[in-house]
Amino acid sequence: MAVDPARLLSYEIPEIVQDLTTRDTILYALSVGLGADPLDKDQLRFVYEDALLALPTMATVLGYAGFWLKHPDAGVDWVKVVHAEQGIRIHQPLPVEGRLVGRTRVTGLVDKGAGKGALLYSERRVTDVAGNLVATLDQTTFLRGDGGCGGTTGPAKVPHPTPERAPDLILDLETSPSQALIYRLNGDYNPLHADPGVATKAGFPRPILHGLATYGVVGHALLKALCGYRPESLKAMDCRFTAPVFPGETIRTEIWHEDGGSAAFRARVIERDAIVLSNGRAEVA
């Protein structure tokens, strides 16, 4: 049965209050590869408590409401749900500790037709307890099993175009074979990223890296290549997920300078020459 658009669009997602600790901030940075070079002083600032800084992409694990689409009241075929696009906008440098509040709401639905799935748009606003906006996150979820619901609220988002010329910058970052096992400690315990048996049943030869872990690795590349490791300089980052990464593979981020302080980017794994993130756009101060 197709999803009920009215019910899904008005679904109330619980507010999340999170007590962020410096340990959480360090764990996130380690889980996306910071600290791989223990002599790199720039990376050390994100994994060592002395004058600790928070990575901008840590916004993806702040005030997270969990896999709410699995709840029966959402009416979604949750087994066929895929994370399709992710965007963050940072309004002020992320804190390394403190109480934060996450409020998530559904913002739109695009029915692609029977057998073609639907696109669900949602927004999460992360604030401090005083109500000051820290970050806004936009997510597109592909509901593969819910096409034909007739619930379109507007046109689908137009992806940012990837330039057809050679990239201006290229940066390779290795992932570790245990990276998914570390990243899951941020709160995403999907066994697909840890259990070889579950991965095999899903059609993969071994557990895959979380999409948001790949997002974090690419965010690290942008921070290094465009911002000189100054987290306050990375203001926004949007992209599409196109293929999984296996822990241990090398992620190559390709970057193109654009007008107005923005950059286009995409990422591929070198070992398989597979594009894993596409249609990326970053805003840099």
Domain that holds residue 251: 169-284
120 and 186 fall within a common domain? no
- How confident is the model at residue 78, as a pLDDT? 86
Q: Among 13, 26, 88, 208, which one carries the catalytic annotation?
A: 208
pLDDT of res. 1: 52
* Domain C-terminal end among 143, 158, 190: 143
**Same domain for 75 and 115?**
yes
Whether 243 is covered by a domain: the verdict is yes
My answer on whether 112 and 209 are in the same domain is no
Looking up residue 121, the CATH number of its domain turns out to be: 3.10.129.10
Q: Are residues 132 and 186 in the same domain?
A: no
Cα 80 to chain centroid, rounded: 19
Q: Using CA atoms, how far apart are residues 77 and 111, in angstroms rounded to an integer?
A: 14
84 and 122 part of one domain: yes
CA-to-CA distance for 178 and 247, rounded, in angstroms?
A: 7
Shared domain check, 139 and 9: yes
In-domain check, residue 160? no
* CA distances to 123, 177, 197 from 194, in Å: 28, 11, 9
Which pLDDT belongs to residue 142?
93
At residue 32, the pLDDT reads 98
- Domain contains 161: no
Residue 148 counted as domain residue: no
* pLDDT value at residue 283: 98
Spatial CA neighbour of 69 closest among 11, 4, 119, 126: 11
211 is an active site residue = yes
114 shares a domain with 240: no
Look at residues 98, 127, 143 and tell me which one is the last residue of a structural domain: 143
Q: Which of 206, 208, 188 is nearest to 197 (CA)?
A: 206
Domain contains 151: no
| Tokens at 245, concatenated | 């990464």
Is 138 in the same domain as 202? Answer: no
- Given this model, what pLDDT does residue 120 score? 95
- What is the rounded distance in angstroms from the CA atom of residue 62 to the CA atom of residue 21? 11
Do 97 and 225 reside in the same domain of the chain? no
Kindly state whether residues 32 and 124 are assigned to the same domain. yes
Kindly state whether residue 227 falls inside one of the protein's structural domains: yes
152: in domain: no
- Given 13, 188, 210, 219, which residue is catalytic? 188
Residues 178, 255 share a domain: yes
Phi and psi angles of residue 97, each rounded to the nearest 5 degrees, phi first:
-160, 160
pLDDT string in tens for the chain (285-residue length): 568 899 999 999 999 999 999 999 999 999 999 999 989 999 999 999 999 999 999 999 999 999 899 888 898 988 888 999 999 999 999 999 999 999 999 999 999 999 899 999 999 999 999 999 999 999 999 998 999 888 888 899 999 999 999 999 999 999 999 999 999 999 999 899 999 999 998 889 999 999 999 999 999 999 999 999 999 999 999 999 999 999 999 999 999 999 988 999 999 999 999 999 999 999 999
Query: Structural domain tally of the chain?
Result: 2
Same domain, 218 and 183: yes
Q: Which of 88, 108, 111, 193 is catalytic?
A: 193
Measuring CA to CA, how many Å separate 169 from each of 26, 222, 253, 256? 28, 10, 8, 7
Of the residues 127, 143, 159, the one at which a domain ends: 143
Q: Is the dihedral of CA 134, 236, 24, 141 positive or negative?
A: positive
Length of the chain as a residue count: 285
Our CA angle for 125, 141, 94, nearest 5°, is 30
Q: Decide if 159 is inside a domain.
A: no
Is 193 one of the catalytic residues? yes
Between CA 45 and CA 281 the distance in angstroms is 25
- List 33, 108, 117, 211, catalytic entry: 211
